[in-house]
């Protein structure tokens, strides 16, 4: 349920002791700082005033102002502390039900709601009502929201309907509809959502919100066609909005609504057996604002168009995730099927984490169970559609973006030894595998052709700060590749500022870094510099292939509606068509051996996907555990 809290400014009358002196100027500065979002500076000025406050009235006012600022910052615990001080001080000279205290009670209820203590929020909102507070619409709406959070739906309806009598705005109508939907009374919910839809001059996000709720209601009534039609209309509104000049707030709102609409649409389309509609919504979950710009606003390609561009004996597997379900689409030249996979999202996450941990710790025993379970969950149900397939393009979703599918196996090794793992039928043994963020973006990107003035540009870093390993083998791999080409450039321990790259292959060997709590990862450039996502967005790096030979260079933060935010996304945006990156730690010597075989295969005329696949198949015979070869993946074809 969407709710807009009303922050009530604690603009009580400035105490008389301050009215005619220089501190009035400070209050004006505080107001200006609050409007600019400079909350800490505003608090600092108020604390200076607090130190020289002459009366309890003065102190009460300042405590209240500071509490209000912390409410604005959503630092609710500090807000509670200061507003309670304000009330305690103010009760020295006023009665608890004095109307002057109403603003403090309202802001106190907001702070308690921010800490999810809705019982206390109700207590202080009702106390504000008893003071004769002049805004009953606000208090009734707040009480409706707080009771709904406590699942006391009848009480929530009571207060929402009281607010509705005062001001019949769309927000109250949708709140009432939400409660009826929660009470499994979709017919009554439909009545209120339709009333909200008839209100004039609806803001685009309000209109989208109402259509979303109507779709949920029609779904509950079993009217899937009407539900999907409304979701498509809402999606069209968001597409139009996204083409306008946007603030950061707009971009966040669009991303949130695209995600909500696409997830609901995907679930409903599956129920209605509308495969093409479901695939459209699955692509919407991946084609965020950044990817739409990369695709030059061509939008999502129809299935028939995709099928014409899929190669012989090639299949595209696109995964999509909603709040409760995981789906897979298998698309070939002449066939198209949709699956709802039986795995739970909780077990999926657990298995991926265990798989990644086994790789990080180079622990074969820990590896076996999650590898088999992930294979059985993600690949086995699709095998009937992959009978004559030799090439796969995998379009992952969310946490699947950091999973090397080629390292999955359908069974445990017969013995826990190198020979046992060497005999495993890893997925990479059967298929040539590549990845891409979105099916539509893949073919929009692959359609671009360009003659490059250079065949190869290499960058090798070997020297880093204290405690960092020198990458001797990384330098050798770049040198090996450099020697294979004619038109070429090589940079050693340097990466010129504002470097404009226009080359068929760009290869950089260095240390990579990634923190799962940070959206941005990057590559280390020697001792004092880094190449981050933001750097790449600002560069012109145009290449047919970028090889990021550094640990975790392909990692990123999974964002619903956008995919993985990391170095590969930035390179796609900069104009790179294909990328080889790493999904976990990999020794520079192992990378060297794989890249030597990769470049050897490229020079023989193999595609990038073939070249990397064949290199891995050879390497598995020597070093069969995936920790030595599974990290390198191709994003592209």
Question: 310 φ, ψ to 5°?
Answer: -85, 140
Q: Could you tell me if 321 and 384 lie in one domain?
A: yes
- Predicted pLDDT of residue 631: 84
Could you tell me if 363 and 324 lie in one domain? Answer: yes
* Per-residue model confidence as pLDDT tens digits over 589-615: 888 899 999 999 999 999 999 999 999
381 and 461, same domain (yes or no) = no
Same domain flag for 481 and 363: no
Which range has the top average pLDDT, 243-247, 276-280, 500-504? 276-280
Tell whether 199 is covered by a domain: no
Cα–Cα distances in Å, from 106 out to 31, 84, 138, 160, 594?
20, 12, 9, 17, 64
> Is residue 475's pLDDT more than 90?
no
At residue 90, the pLDDT reads 85
> In the listed set 134, 156, 187, which residue is the last one of a domain according to the structure?
134
- What integer pLDDT is reported at residue 4 of this predicted model? 42
Residue 509 has what pLDDT?
85
Identify whether residues 406 and 475 lie together within a single domain.
Answer: no
Q: How far apart are CA 171 and CA 209, in angstroms?
A: 10
pLDDT at 7: 43
Does residue 162 belong to any structural domain of this protein?
Answer: no
Whether 2 has a pLDDT exceeding 50, the answer reads: no
Question: How many domains are contained in the chain?
Answer: 3
Q: Among residues of the chain, what percentage have pLDDT more than 70?
A: 89
- Domain of 423? 307-437
pLDDT mean over 431-438: 93
Say yes or no to pLDDT of 515 above 90.
no
Examine the domain organization and report whether 606 and 462 are in the same domain.
yes
Answer whether residue 567 is part of any domain: yes
Tens of pLDDT along 103-128? 889 999 999 999 999 999 999 999 99
Residue 290 is predicted with a pLDDT of: 56
Name the range with the highest mean pLDDT among 132-146, 187-201, 508-522: 187-201
Mean pLDDT, to the nearest integer, of 551-575?
75
Looking up tokens 């070939």 gives 332
Residue 532 confidence class, pLDDT cut points 50, 70, 90 = confident
Q: Is the confidence at residue 11, as pLDDT, over 50?
A: no
Residue finishing a domain among 134, 149, 169: 134
- DSSP string across 169-233: -HHHHHHHHHHHHHTT-HHHHHHHHHHHHTSSS--HHHHHHHHHHHHHHHHHTT-HHHHHHHHHH
Whole-structure pTM value: 0.84
Using DSSP's 3-state secondary structure scheme, residue 348 falls into helix
Tell me the mean pLDDT in the region 40-67: 80
Predicted confidence band at 5 (pLDDT cuts at 50, 70, 90)? Answer: very low
Residue 285, in any domain of the structure? no
Among 7-21, 271-285, 344-358, which is the least confidently predicted range? 7-21
Please return the burial class of 311, using the count of CB atoms within 10 Å of its CB with bins 0-12, 13-18 and 19+.
middle
**What is the predicted pLDDT for the residue at 56?**
65
Same domain membership, residue 630 and residue 565: yes
272 occurs within a structural domain: no
Cβ pair 464, 527 in contact under 8 A:
yes
- Distance separating alpha carbons of residues 77 and 84, to the nearest angstrom: 11
User: Does residue 54 have a pLDDT over 90?
Assistant: no
Which tens digits make up the pLDDT trace of 379-397?
999 999 999 999 999 999 8
In a domain, 286, yes or no: no
Asked whether residue 428 falls in the same domain as residue 557, the answer is no
Residues above pLDDT 90, as percent of the chain: 49
Cβ-contact 168, 146 below 8 angstroms: no
Instruction: Determine the average pLDDT of the residues in 22-38.
Output: 74
> Each residue of 225-239: pLDDT tens digit?
999 999 999 999 998
Whether residues 462 and 430 fall in one domain: no
CB-CB contact of 582 with 554 (8 Å):
yes
- Quote the pLDDT of residue 204: 94
The CATH number given to whatever domain includes residue 102 is 1.25.40.10
The yes-or-no verdict on residue 370 having pLDDT over 70 is yes
The reply to whether 413 and 549 lie within a common domain is no
Mean pLDDT of 451-475: 81
Helix axes 224-242, 204-220, angle to 10 degrees: 160
Please give the pLDDT value at position 609: 96
Query: What is the average per-residue pLDDT within 1-27?
Result: 47
**In 3D, which of 492, 504, 408 has the Cα closest to residue 455?**
504
pLDDT of residue 497: 61
Output the pLDDT for position 16. 41
Q: What is the pLDDT of residue 230?
A: 98
Lowest mean pLDDT among 366-380, 385-399, 463-477: 463-477
What pLDDT was estimated at residue 462?
82
Residue 322 lies in a domain: yes
What is the pLDDT at residue 47?
82
Are 476 and 367 in a shared domain?
no
Q: Average model confidence (pLDDT) for the chain? A: 86
| Nearest-angstrom CA–CA distance, 213 and 206 | 11
- Is a pLDDT exceeding 70 seen at residue 518? no
What pLDDT, in 10s, does the model give residues 297-330? 567 889 999 999 999 999 999 999 999 999 999 9
Domain match, 328 and 475 both: no
Is residue 209 domain-resident? Answer: no
Domain boundary at 95, 115, 134, which? 134
**Tens digit of each residue's pLDDT (9 = 90 or more) over 160-183:** 999 999 999 999 999 999 999 999
């Amino acid at each position: 349920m969407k709710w807009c809290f009303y922050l009530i400014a604690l603009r009580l009358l400035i105490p008389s002791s301050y009215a005619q002196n220089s501190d009035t100027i400070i209050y004006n500065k505080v107001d200006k700082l609050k409007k600019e979002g400079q909350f800490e500076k505003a608090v600092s000025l108020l604390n200076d005033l607090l130190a020289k406050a002459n009366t309890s009235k003065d102190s009460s006012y300042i405590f209240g102002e500071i509490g209000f600022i912390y409410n604005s910052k959503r630092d609710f615990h500090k807000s509670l502390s200061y507003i309670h001080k304000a009330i305690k001080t103010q009760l020295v000279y006023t009665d608890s039900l004095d109307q002057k205290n109403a603003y403090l009670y309202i802001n106190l209820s907001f702070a308690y709601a921010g800490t999810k203590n809705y019982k206390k929020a109700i207590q202080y909102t009702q106390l504000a009502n008893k003071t004769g507070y002049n805004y009953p619409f606000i208090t009734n709406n707040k009480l409706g929201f707080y009771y709904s959070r406590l699942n006391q739906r009848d009480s929530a309806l009571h207060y929402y309907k009281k607010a509705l009598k005062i001001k019949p705005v769309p927000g109250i109508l949708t709140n009432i509809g939400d409660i009826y939907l929660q009470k499994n009374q979709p017919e009554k919910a439909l009545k209120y959502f339709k009333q909200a839809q008839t209100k004039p001059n609806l803001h685009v996000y309000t209109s989208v919100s109402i259509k979303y709720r109507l779709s949920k209601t029609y779904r509950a009534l079993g009217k899937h066609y009407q539900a999907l039609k409304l979701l498509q209309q809402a999606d069209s509104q968001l597409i139009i909005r996204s083409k306008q000049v946007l603030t950061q707030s707009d971009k966040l709102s669009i991303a949130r609504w695209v995600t909500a609409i696409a997830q609901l649409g995907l679930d409903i389309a599956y129920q209605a057996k509308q495969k093409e509609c479901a695939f459209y919504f699955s692509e919407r979950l991946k084609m965020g604002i950044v990817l739409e710009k990369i695709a030059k606003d061509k939008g999502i390609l129809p299935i028939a168009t995709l099928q014409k561009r899929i190669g012989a004996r090639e299949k595209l597997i696109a995964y999509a995730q909603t709040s409760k379900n995981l789906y897979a689409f298998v698309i070939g030249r002449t066939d198209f099927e949709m699956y709802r996979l039986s795995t739970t999202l909780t077990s999926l996450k657990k298995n991926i984490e265990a798989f990644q941990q086994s790789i990080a710790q180079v622990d074969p025993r820990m590896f076996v169970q999650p590898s088999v379970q992930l294979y059985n969950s993600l690949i086995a149900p699709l095998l009937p559609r992959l009978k004559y397939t030799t090439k796969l393009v995998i379009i992952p979703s969310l946490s699947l973006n950091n999973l090397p599918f080629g390292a999955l196996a359908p069974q445990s090794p017969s013995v826990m030894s190198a020979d046992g793992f060497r005999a495993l039928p890893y997925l990479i043994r059967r298929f040539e595998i590549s990845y891409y963020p979105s099916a539509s973006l893949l073919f929009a990107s692959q359609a671009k052709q360009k003659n490059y003035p250079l065949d190869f540009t290499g960058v090798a870093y070997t020297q880093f700060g204290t405690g960092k390993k020198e990458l001797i083998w990384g330098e050798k791999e770049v040198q090996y590749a450099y020697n294979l080409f004619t038109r070429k450039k090589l940079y050693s321990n340097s990466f010129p500022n504002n470097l404009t790259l226009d080359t068929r292959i760009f290869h950089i060997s260095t240390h990579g870094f990634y923190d799962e709590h940070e959206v941005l990862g990057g590559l280390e450039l020697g001792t004092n510099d880094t190449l981050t996502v933001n750097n790449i967005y600002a560069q012109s790096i145009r290449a047919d292939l970028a090889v990021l030979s550094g640990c975790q260079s392909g990692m990123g933060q999974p964002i619903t509606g956008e995919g993985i935010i990391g170095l590969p996304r930035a390179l796609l945006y900069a104009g790179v068509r294909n990328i080889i990156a790493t999904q976990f730690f990999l020794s520079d010597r192992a990378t060297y051996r794989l890249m030597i075989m990769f470049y050897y295969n490229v020079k023989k005329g193999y595609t990038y996907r073939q070249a990397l696949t064949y290199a891995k198949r050879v390497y598995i015979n020597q070093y069969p555990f995936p920790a030595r070869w599974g990290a390198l993946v191709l994003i592209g074809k």
